[in-house]
Amino acid sequence: MRSINIIIVEDNEDDLLLILLALKKAGYEPNYTQVQTRTGLEAALQDKHWQVVISNHSMPTFSAPEALETLQESGRNLPFIIASGTIDEEFAATIIEKGADDYIDKGNLSGLVPVLERMLGS
């Protein structure tokens, strides 16, 4: 198992578990923290040597664009991947122009590991 340190911006426990399962099936041992707010993400970014941020697109009190902005304001240079079941191509293009590294469809998490490995140079 390869260890990976991830911040997961997610409000749905089932989706969190599916992301973790996809990583474990691919041979990763995820060390993660789950956040749901700007304050939580700001605190997490100060806490540990993270390798990547995976963010849900839309939550009741926080969103992927806000999470990306928080990451950019922190000065940390981490890959930022959006995981969503509701993202359209126009939004995806816009958020990538703003600095997101990639996006994956939550309905097909098989794309997560190849994206991660490309981002991390694995």
DSSP of 47-115, one letter per residue? HS---EEEEESB-SS-BHHHHHHHHHHHT----EEEEESS--HHHHHHHHHTT--EEEEGGGGGGHHHH
Domains assigned to the chain: 2-120 (3.40.50.2300)
- For the chain, give the mean pLDDT: 91
- Tens digits of per-residue pLDDT, 48-98? 789 999 999 888 889 999 999 999 999 999 999 998 877 777 888 888 899
pTM of the model: 0.92
